[in-house]
Amino acid sequence: MAAVRDGQAGGGPPTLSGGTGPLGGAPPHRPTLEQVARRAGVGRGTVSRVINGSPRVSERTRAAVEAAVDELGYVPNRVARALAAGSADAIALVIPEPETRFFAEPYFSGILHGVSSELARADMQLLLTLLHSQKEQDRFAQYAAAHRIDGVLLVSVHADDTLPDLLAEARIPAVLNGRRSAAEPLPYVDCDNVGGARAAVAHLIARGCETVATITGPPDMYAARCRADGYREAIRDAGHPEDELLVAPGDFTEESGHSGMRRLLADRPGIDAVFCASDVMAAGARIALREAGRRVPDDVALVGFDDSAVARHMDPPLTTVRQPIDEMGREMARVLLELLGKWTPGAAYPAPPAQPAPSPRPPGAGDRTHRVLPTELIRRGSS
Amino acid sequence: MAAVRDGQAGGGPPTLSGGTGPLGGAPPHRPTLEQVARRAGVGRGTVSRVINGSPRVSERTRAAVEAAVDELGYVPNRVARALAAGSADAIALVIPEPETRFFAEPYFSGILHGVSSELARADMQLLLTLLHSQKEQDRFAQYAAAHRIDGVLLVSVHADDTLPDLLAEARIPAVLNGRRSAAEPLPYVDCDNVGGARAAVAHLIARGCETVATITGPPDMYAARCRADGYREAIRDAGHPEDELLVAPGDFTEESGHSGMRRLLADRPGIDAVFCASDVMAAGARIALREAGRRVPDDVALVGFDDSAVARHMDPPLTTVRQPIDEMGREMARVLLELLGKWTPGAAYPAPPAQPAPSPRPPGAGDRTHRVLPTELIRRGSS
DNA sequence: GGATATTGTGGGAGCGCTCCCAAAGTGATG
DNA sequence: CATCACTTTGGGAGCGCTCCCACAATATCC
């Protein structure tokens, strides 16, 4: 203990390095809670109470402690806090390696942005974890449990992913971005893929297109299936004939969009519109159309999904379905925070002294942990 | 609110959701080092030595401990370890808010990927920190110092950024991606902007272009100035006349590429090639060219910089300069890890007794901490 | 006026680990 | 057979915080 004190006793307030000039001054000694307490002439517990905003502190004392905190430039050590409190004040955003392509999309940046800003409000830290191998993926739940993080945010979940279950088993709160199936038991935040696809196709039909095809995403992703479902619903709603040859399977890659389009052109030369389940596939399809000498949108109208960067830069710019990405990120963070008890939706309201019976949840919207956000059709030149 | 405590004791979703929770399995009990020690019939110190790979353990003991670790499924608690060891085993990748546009670029994903994979090798965690406001930016150094992280990686540094200096003052090891000036004192990893630009322009000249213009990036970014310098060098090397009207200022945005191109076309109608300091500006320039009825590359050849997503999707695809992004990320992580002494054991933490004569400025004369990686010209249809 | 609440406050007891020192064990040496 | 050098091991002493219990110091009541 004496050793600790030395660093400070030697030369005045530790964090006045601003006064002594850059790089020249005192050693970068970080004051501890104990030192703040001594300075303020109070006990450790009291300082702890003040910095945690406990109401059980007198005004006088609080002011004294705050002054000491300022003078010393005290910032609590999060590691110590985490150890003592048993919670890390950090959550991990987990991305399986194969999904890193995904990074380059505004999608990812939007999620990140939303998550980050919501987390900042709760003063929690964001850990980014790329799982490079299947082994890492399997071990992740175990590591996560080593108390370094309080919860997990999972993006780009596939139907056969086991990680969510591993996390559930390990009792680690997790929120998925998207769901694995219609009956996803875990908390998730998704967008209305069915509705978005439906709106896109309805738009094409309203525009006068007769033969509307689609290029789908990989069937092991629920979002892809939903988009295909939306397509079918819109076709049915319009009373158009259902034709399975108008449905080309893709896998969200540009290449699959290209080959899917070629297949469609070969099977059904008369198509005059295509709904692609992703913008990237639409870009591939656009190339195939150009190769086939079809003009967009005059010969074939094109609509994508995602509103990614390529959409705006295609020629003509691509009509597409936008997801409320930033909001999805925020929502994921909120759901997780709520799960952790770190965030109360109605925290601003006076505390409910006597809560009435469990408030009945609106049907469909289900519990607070299953959320589906609306999409929006962005019209551009391709349709 | 006592929500947190309530959650733990009361039986909410968080941790102690009950031994008889919904999933019914074993209670989520995390074994401690102490328990492993007991199980293996050894002392805590010995277990610690084993899990940290100390050589001072007999084979017999090591085997016994490892068996106990396996049986119990022991994973060290990183928080406790960080507190005891005084280092957090985590570094932060910091991104100022205005740069989030940057996210949507393969650039960012590449850096992230490189950083992440190198960090994983060193078993360090990656904290992603978006600084949403100037205030957050100013406070960051202080927070960072609160021992949650060992070092910082900074991307997209501007000439007038003070954060790097704040970090240096707080003695927090930091590595920049790019530099603020030719005389950057802090450790950095950059790519050869001058060489890349030079190669791009030389390529245009070799191709037979007579009047090569450029649209530059914002002058407050050193990278932008370097690219402009590279342009000038190549012009000079080829013996072409230097003409300041061939240099249009931009700011890396599409809009500035557009207006820059219009200005160039107005001032020097005869230009037959343009080197844009970023792909995004090239996209803007491309639009202006189309508006002016100039064909690419027949009338005007176009080259960009960055090899971003737009480059591949332009029509024609854009010739551009690629940076070894993934490798830059890796290199940043390596430099930081080296700075932290993660390669050599025995890192003295709080206040070394009497360190002989360490250079007072960690980022002093650097060879190992100042790295410039080569770029590569990617030829596509636009030139 | 004495008993009982109420509000503030100090500080002990950890959280799970690393660091380090002294003790125990081992073998070679004179 | 005592001595010394080395290896291996156990466990005390924290790291900086939160939690919580006891103990003031008032305030409230019959």
Measured CA B90 to C1' D11 distance, in angstroms: 29
pLDDT for the residue B197: 98
Say which residue, B205 or B113, is predicted with more confidence: B205
The chain-wide mean pLDDT, for chain B, equals 85
Overall average pLDDT of the B156-167 stretch: 88
- Tokens representing A303 are 């609509």
Q: Do A128 and B126 touch (CB under 8 A)?
A: yes
User: Which residues of B spanning 4-23 put their CB closer than 7 angstroms to strand D?
Assistant: 4-5, 9
Say which residue, A362 or B190, is predicted with more confidence: B190
Beta-carbon contacts of B286 under 8 Å, excluding residues fewer than 6 positions away, are: B257, B296, B302, B314, B318, B382
pLDDT for the residue B104: 63
Q: Do A112 and B103 touch (CB under 8 A)?
A: yes
For residues A12 and B164, is the Cβ–Cβ distance under 8 A? no
Say which residue, B359 or B98, is predicted with more confidence: B98
Smallest CA–C1' separation from B37, nucleotide: D10
Smallest CA–C1' separation from A146, nucleotide: C16
Q: Do B147 and A112 touch (CB under 8 A)?
A: no
Burial A65-94 (b: 16+ CB within 10 A, else e): bbebbebbbbbbbbbbbbbeeebbbbbbbb
- Nearest CA to CA, how far is B180 from chain A (Å)? 18
For residues A224 and A164, is the Cβ–Cβ distance under 8 A? no
Cis bond leading into A297, ω under 30°? Answer: yes
- Nearest CA to CA, how far is B77 from chain A (Å)? 5
Q: Is the pLDDT of residue B21 over 90?
A: no
Query: Hey, of B36, B74, B79, which one would you mutate to test binding to chain A, going by the most A CBs within 10 A of its CB?
Result: B79
Query: Hey, of A148, A335, A382, which one would you mutate to test binding to chain B, going by the most B CBs within 10 A of its CB?
Result: A148
pLDDT for the residue B6: 34
Q: Do B130 and A142 touch (CB under 8 A)?
A: no
Overall average pLDDT of the B53-75 stretch: 94
pLDDT for the residue A211: 97
Q: Do B3 and A79 touch (CB under 8 A)?
A: no
Q: Do A126 and B126 touch (CB under 8 A)?
A: no
Taking each helix axis from N to C end, the angle separating B59-72 and B33-40, rounded to the nearest 10 degrees, works out to 120
pLDDT for the residue A23: 42
pLDDT for the residue B364: 35
pLDDT for the residue A365: 47
Q: Do B113 and A128 touch (CB under 8 A)?
A: no
Q: Count other Cβ atoms within 10 Å, centred on residue B107.
A: 23
pLDDT for the residue B27: 52
Global pTM reads: 0.84
Q: Which residues in chain A have Cβ-Cβ distances shorter than 8 Å to B146?
A: 30, 75-78
Overall average pLDDT of the B81-90 stretch: 91
Q: Which residues in chain B have Cβ-Cβ distances shorter than 8 Å to A3?
A: 351
Measured CA B78 to C1' C18 distance, in angstroms: 12
pLDDT for the residue A172: 92
d(CA B282, CA B307): 11
Q: Name the maximum alpha-carbon separation found in chain B.
A: 85
Q: Mean pLDDT per 10-residue run, chain A (383 residues)?
A: 33 33 53 94 95 93 95 94 90 83 72 92 92 87 84 90 91 94 95 98 97 96 96 98 97 95 98 96 96 97 91 89 95 95 52 38 60 97 95
pLDDT for the residue A350: 33
d(CA A288, CA A349): 57
Cα–Cα nearest to B228, from B208, B206, B212: B212
d(CA A187, CA A206): 36
Task: With H, G, I as helix, E, B as strand and everything else as coil, classify residue B274.
Answer: strand
d(CA A98, CA A91): 21
CA B49 from centroid of its chain's CA atoms = 34
Say which residue, A17 or B159, is predicted with more confidence: B159
Nearest CB neighbour to B120, from listed A132, A314, A342: A132
Nearest CB neighbour to A173, from listed B13, B106, B127: B13
DSSP string covering B305-329: SS--HHHHHSSSPPBEEE--HHHHH
**Which stretch of DSSP H or E encloses residue B68?**
helix B59-72
Residue A344 to residues A49, A151, A350, A351, B2: CA-CA distances in angstroms? 21, 16, 12, 11, 11
- Nearest CA to CA, how far is A244 from chain B (Å)? 30
- Nearest CA to CA, how far is A235 from chain B (Å)? 31
pLDDT digits (tens, 9 = 90+) for B195-254: 999 999 999 999 999 999 999 999 989 999 999 999 999 999 999 999 999 999 999 999
d(CA A260, CA A247): 9
Nearest CB neighbour to B104, from listed A86, A106, A129: A106
